[in-house]
Structure formats: C-alpha cells, structure tokens
Amino acid sequence: MLYNATATIDKQYEDEISEILFTYNALSVSSEIHGQFCVISALFDDIEKPHTFLLNNGFITREFKDNDWKYKWLENYSGGELTENIFIIPSDSIEKPPKDYKFIIKIDPRDAFGDGNHPTTKQCAIFLENLLIEKNHTDSKLLDAGTGTGILAIIASLYGIKNIDAIDIEEESINRTNINLEFNSINSVNTLQADIGKFIVKKKYDIICANLLTAIIIENIDTIMSLGTPDCIYIISGIGIQWKEEIETLFSLKKLEIKEFSVLNDWCCFKLVKSDSF
C-alpha cells in the first residue's frame, strides 16, 4: 500500500521539511513553489511512523492501492548529465545521450534515493570525479556511506579504484545497488546493509563519501572520521543550507579542514581533510 501526503507550507521551510520527511522513510519528496508558498508532497509505503508529524503539520494523506503508481514517474525519466564526463540513463533506455561522454552509467532508479538528479548526488559526483582525475587513486580504499543506488561507488570503480565498500541502512538500496553494479559490469564493489553508526571494519579508508541526512552526519561524525586514514579525504553532503553554520562549527570542533565547498539548490557539499594531516 502506498500513501501520498501533501501540504502547503512557507517556501522558506521547504528544505527543512523535505529533510524531515526523508528521515521518516519517504520514498520520494517533490515540491512546487507558488509565490511565497510551497506545495510539498511525499510518498510513503508505511504511514505509521510519520503519522503524527504529518498530522501536526497540516498534511493531507491519500491512499493508493495500485503499486504501479509509484513507478509512473519513470515513464518520463530518460536520464541526465551527472558531470561533464558522466551521463546516467535508465537501464532499459534506447535513447542516446545528447553528446559523447567518457562514461555512461546505467541504473534502475526505482525505490532508492539516487537517480542522479538530486543536488547532493551531483555535487558528490563532481567532487569525487575531480579528485580521481587530479591524482591516481587506483590503490586507494573507498567507502560510499549511504550508497542509495550505488552511483558514487560505480564512479569510483570506473575511475580505477579496486577496493570499494558501499553501505546503506536500507535493504532495498543495497538490492538496487547490486542490480546497478551488474548493469555496469562492476565487480570491484563490496555491498553491505549497515548502519553507519554501527559500522565496524578493520580496514581504514583513503576516501569516504557520506551523502547522508544532516542529523545522521552530526550524530555519527566521530564514527565517520574513525573509519578514515590520517590522510583520508572526506566528501560529505546531504546538508541543507540552513544547517551550514552548525555543520561548519562541528567540522571545526572535530579538526576537519574544509578544502572545497559547493552549494546547489540550497544543498551543501564539503570536501574535507583532518587538519593535522598536512
């Protein structure tokens, strides 16, 4: 069973409400701006957990009995440019990209966060690609935390990294990532359903990509840092612009130095190193 929850809110709260809806396991969140107001909609397959929040914030909830409805948006999904070198297409697409790209990534975007269109995915992909172009990281170990559909792990593999772990707390995300790895003939990625806060591994990573919700990053920053080598490069996103100052203060307290920063559609992405690593 699927449920669609819709509310009209002040547009200044769009990012904050969207982030909260994802913490309640929304399958997708969309919004339309109308002057000062924003109509925000979320799709859920279980309404019990978000019920109180939706009720208290003026959401109207409707039930859908046709499970095929949640894939209807795919009828108009033809992929898109992720970076200047990478284009993403649906696995069953017969359309060709508008120009020649170095890499074409095939994905099945259903049921998982990460069809390549979200600003956090794009920014992480750009930071990661630039890093891998600037220097040969073939022998590096990379962790993709909150892998979604596996896009960042796939990029790392395409650029030559052979030791990659991709984790996500959602079983469906890991299932979808495994499918996408097959679509792209990738065999250098180890996938695991895991909570970043409880993730324990003997190895240390040279690169960590963490595209997670702000609250999860704040709660688990010590764990994320502990998984990296002394010279580890961290690419962290999933942070709404309203949390920028708070997250920068946290990074400073943890002695993480910001090497690069970007904002796209009010979503932030950071490239960081431990301040005593250089």
Domains located in the chain, CATH noted = 2-73 (3.30.70.120), 123-274 (3.40.50.150)
| pLDDT-wise least confident of 1-5, 47-51, 265-269 | 1-5
pLDDT at 30 over 50: yes
Q: Would you place residue 164 in the very low, low, confident or very high pLDDT band (cuts 50, 70, 90)?
A: very high
* Each residue's pLDDT tens digit, 101-118: 999 999 886 655 556 778
Distance CA 28, CA 14 (A): 14
| pLDDT-wise least confident of 91-95, 136-140, 204-208, 228-232 | 91-95
Q: What is the mean pLDDT of the chain?
A: 89
Distance CA 270, CA 258 (A): 7
Looking at residue 278, what is its pLDDT? 47
Looking at residue 159, what is its pLDDT? 97
Distance CA 232, CA 230 (A): 6
Looking at residue 35, what is its pLDDT? 81
- pTM: predicted TM-score of the whole model, two decimal places: 0.78
Neighbours of 237 (CB within 10 A): 28
